[in-house]
Structure 1
Amino acid sequence: MEKYIMAPVLAMVLGYAITPWVRVLAFKVGALDKPDPRKVHNGVMPRMGGLAVYLAFIVAVLLFRDLTPQVWGLLTGATVILLVGALDDIRGLSPRVKLAGQVIAALATIIPFDVQIYYITNPLTGDMLFLGAFSIPLTVFWIVAVTNAVNLIDGLDGLAGGVSSIAALTMAAVAWTQWHLYGIPGMLETIMLALTLVAAVAGFLKHNFHPAKIFLGDTGSLFLGFTLSVMAIMSLTKSATAVSVIIPLVILGVPLLDTFFAVIRRYHKHRPIFKPDREHLHHQLMAMGLSHRQTVLAIYALSGFLGLNAVVLNLISNDQALVLLVVLAVVVIYLADRVGVLGRTRKAGYSITDDYQQR
C-alpha cells in the first residue's frame, strides 16, 4: 500500500514546493506572458509553470512506479514536448515549428516504445477493426490533437490544470472498473500514473488558481495534453468493449469540443483556422457575466459531468451507451449554440465584465 500512496504524495509536495523556484527561473530566462487584446490579464506574468508539474510527476514516477517500456515511452515523449513548450514560452515558436515538435514527441513515444493504437472497436457492432499501416498515423493524430486541445483551453487561471486533473481522475476511475470488472491487464499502471499526475497538478494549482502567481504556459499545457493522450492509449484503448473508442473522447470532451467548435466557427466565418480568437468557451461564459472564478468552476463542473458520463458508459450495455451518447451529443450541441462557441450572434445586453478585463 505504501508503494501506491508515496508517488501521489511526493508529486503533490514537489508540485507545491518547486513552483516558487520555477517562478523565479521564469523571470530570469524571460518566460513572461505579456497582455494583448485577446488575453484576459493586463500585467506581465511569469509562465513556464508546467516545469514544476513535469518535475514533480517525473521524480515521483521514477522513484515509485514500475518503469515498463510504455512508461519509459511516456516519460521520453513528455520530456520532448516539455522542451518544445519551454522554448515557446521563452522565445516563441511559429505554429509550424510547434506542430513539428509535437509530432517528434509523439514519434519518440510511438516507435521506440511501441505505444500505439493497434485497433479500435466499432461502437455499432462491437467488431475490432485492426488499423495495420494506419496505426502510427492515427496514434500521432490523436496525441497531437489532444495536446493542442489542452493548450487551447489554457486561457484562465487554473483552467487547463483543473480540467486535466478531472480528466486524469476519470481515466483512473474508468481504468479501475475495466481492471476490476473485466480483468484487463495494465490498468493498475494507468491508475497510478493518472493519480500521480493529478497530485502534481494539485500542488501547482495552489499557485495557479485565481489570482495566479504563475501560469502553466505552453510548457505545462502541452505536457498535460501529451501525457493525457498517451495514458489514454496505454489503457482505455485496450478494452474490447464497443464504446471503448468513445470513452477517451468523452473524458477529454471539454478541450476537444472547444477545439472542434473553434475550427467550425472559424471556417464558417472564413477566418484562418489557426488564428486565435476570443470566442472560446471561457471567453463566452465571461461575456455572459460570470466572474473569472465562476467561469473556471463552471467548466470544472462540465468536465466532471462528462467524466461521470464516461464512467457510466463503461458500466452499461452497448445499446444503453449509444442512447446516452446521442443524448449527450444533442445536449452539448444545444448548449454550445446557446453559449456562443459556435459563433452565433449574441443578443444585445451581454458585455465583457470588469473581471474579464482585469485578469
Structure 2
Amino acid sequence: MVPSLVVSWLLGFALRVWAPRWGLVDRPGPRKVHDRPMPTSGGLAIWLGVVLPFAILQMMLWFTFDSRPPHGLVTPELVAGFFPREWLPIQAARHLPGVWAQSGRLWTVLGLATVVMTLGLADDRWKLPWWFRLVVEFIVAGVTVAAGYRLTLFIEVPLLTGILSVLWIVALINAFNMLDNMDGLAAGVAAIACTVLAAVMLLTPKPVTGEPQLFVAGFFLVLLGALLGFLWHNRPPARLFMGDAGSYFVGYLVAVISMTATFAGENTPRHAVLAPLCALAVPLYDLVTVVVIRLRAGASPFVGDTRHFSHRLVELGMTKTQAVLTIYLMAATCGLGALLLHQVNTFGALVILLLVGCMISLIAILETTGRRAQRRGKGPEDRSAD
C-alpha cells in the first residue's frame, strides 16, 4: 500500500500544475458543485500509483525467475536478503513464484483497466458522447469475461454468468463515475470498499490450501494506497479531481478483482459470495436511485445532473462535508456485514443482508420524507420549479 500511496501523492502535486496546460480542467456549471475551474486529471495519479509498483515488481520477478541461463541467478532467498527481515522475510519470499505465475493475468487486467482509464481521460478532455463511452465499456467488459474473469455464483450456465459479469463491470464503472460529484466522495467510498474487501480476502482462506488470499488482498491494498495518496489532494476543499479517468479505472478494477476473489468454497458457505454487494452497496444504491429519478422525470439516465445521493442530502440541509461523511458512514456500516458473511450460517447471512437492506431503506425513507416536507413548505411558484 505504501509505494502506491507515495506515487499517487507525489504525482498529484505535478498534475495540479500540468492538467490546466493539457486542457484537463472541470469548469463550473449549472450541474456542478464547485465554483472555480479545477484540474481533473487525478485519475492519472491513481493509475500510475497502481501500475508503477506492479511494474517494478514485475521487473524484479523477471530477474528472479528468468528462464535464460544462468537460471536461478536471483532466487527468492536472495531477494529476501536485500530487505530487513521485518519487511520481506523468507516466509514472504516463498510466495514470489505464485506472483510470477499470476503476472500474465495481472497485466491483462491492468491493460484493460488502462484502456478504460484512457477512455475516461479522453472524455475529460473532449466530452465524448455517452453512447460511445457505453459501447467501449461493454466491449472492454466482454473482453474481460472472454479472458476468463467472470462471476460464478454457483450457476452452471456460462452464458448467464457471462452476461451478469459484463453487467457487473459496466455497472460499477458507471456507479463510481456517478458517485464522483463531491470532494473526496468517490475516492473515499472506494477506499472503504477496498479496505473491507482486502480484509475479507485475508480472513477467507483459499478452498484448496486454506491460506489467506494474499494476491487478491494485495491488489486491493495497492489500489487503496493509490486512492489514499489521491485523497490528500481531493479532500475538501479539493485541489484536484479524479475525473472520468479515475472513476472508470477504479470502478473497473474493483469490479474485476472482486470477481477474481474466492468468497466461497469447500469450507466457506456459498452465501459469502454476496460480500461484494455489501461492500459496494452505496455506489450501487446511488446508481439505481439516480437512474430511477431521471427516468421518472423524463430525463435521459446518461445526462449528468444534481440528483445524486450526495446532492439530495445537501438539499435536505446538510453541508457538503456532512453529506460526504454520512455516505462514508453508510458505506462502512454496509461493508462491515461483508466481514461476517463467511463466518455465519444461512440464517446469520440473512440477518446481515436484512440489516444492509434496512440501512438503505431507512436512508431512502428519510430522503423521501425530507423532500416531501420541503415541497409542502414551498409556495405554488416554488413547487412549479421542482
| Bucket of the pairwise TM-score, normalised by the shorter protein | 0.7 to 0.9
| Residue 141 (structure 2) pairs with residue 106 (structure 1) | yes
Shift of the 58–284 alpha-carbon distance from structure 1 to 2, 3 Å rule, reads same
TM normalised by structure 1 equals 0.86
The CA distance in 2 between the partners of 1:228 and 1:144, in whole Å, is: 11
Shift of the 238–98 alpha-carbon distance from structure 1 to 2, 3 Å rule, reads farther
Question: Identity over the aligned pairs, expressed in percent?
Answer: 31
Q: 2:288 aligns with which of 260, 264, 275?
A: 260
Is the Cα–Cα contact under 8 Å of residues 177 and 247 in structure 2 kept in the other structure?
A: yes
Deviation sequence 1:266-316 (CA, Å, 0-9, x none): 333333322333222111221222222222111111111111111122221
Question: What's the counterpart of residue 161 of structure 2?
Answer: 135
The CA distance in 2 between the partners of 1:116 and 1:252, in whole Å, is: 17
Question: What's the counterpart of residue 47 of structure 1?
Answer: 40
Question: What's the counterpart of residue 357 of structure 1?
Answer: none
Secondary structure of 2:374's match? coil
The CA distance in 2 between the partners of 1:299 and 1:216, in whole Å, is: 18
Q: How does 1:302-313 map to 2 (within 5 A)?
A: 302-313=330-341
User: Shift of the alpha carbon at 1:350?
Assistant: 8.5
Is the Cα–Cα contact under 8 Å of residues 103 and 140 in structure 1 kept in the other structure?
A: yes
Shift of the 227–70 alpha-carbon distance from structure 1 to 2, 3 Å rule, reads same
| Residue 112 (structure 2) pairs with residue 84 (structure 1) | no
Is the Cα–Cα contact under 8 Å of residues 176 and 188 in structure 1 kept in the other structure?
A: yes
Q: Which amino acid aligns with 2:372?
A: T
The CA distance in 1 between the partners of 2:41 and 2:123, in whole Å, is: 9
Is the Cα–Cα contact under 8 Å of residues 8 and 229 in structure 2 kept in the other structure?
A: yes
Question: What's the counterpart of residue 5 of structure 1?
Answer: none
| Residue 184 (structure 2) pairs with residue 158 (structure 1) | yes
| Residue 143 (structure 2) pairs with residue 116 (structure 1) | no
Which has the greater radius of gyration?
2
Aligned length: 334
The CA distance in 2 between the partners of 1:323 and 1:199, in whole Å, is: 32
User: Shift of the alpha carbon at 1:245?
Assistant: 3.6
User: Shift of the alpha carbon at 1:179?
Assistant: 1.8
Question: What's the counterpart of residue 243 of structure 2?
Answer: 217
Residue ranges of structure 1 left out of the alignment (5+ in a row): 1-7, 121-127, 352-359
Q: 2:325 aligns with which of 297, 314, 332?
A: 297
Is the Cα–Cα contact under 8 Å of residues 117 and 249 in structure 2 kept in the other structure?
A: yes
| Residue 25 (structure 2) pairs with residue 17 (structure 1) | no
Question: What's the counterpart of residue 355 of structure 1?
Answer: none
Shift of the 95–185 alpha-carbon distance from structure 1 to 2, 3 Å rule, reads farther
User: Shift of the alpha carbon at 1:265?
Assistant: 2.2
Deviation sequence 1:194-244 (CA, Å, 0-9, x none): 011111111111111111111000010111101100110110456463323
RMSD, aligned α-carbons:
2.4
User: Shift of the alpha carbon at 1:106?
Assistant: 2.1
The CA distance in 2 between the partners of 1:89 and 1:350, in whole Å, is: 39
| Residue 175 (structure 2) pairs with residue 149 (structure 1) | yes
Question: What's the counterpart of residue 248 of structure 1?
Answer: 276
The CA distance in 2 between the partners of 1:195 and 1:212, in whole Å, is: 23
Residue ranges of structure 2 left out of the alignment (5+ in a row): 59-98, 379-386
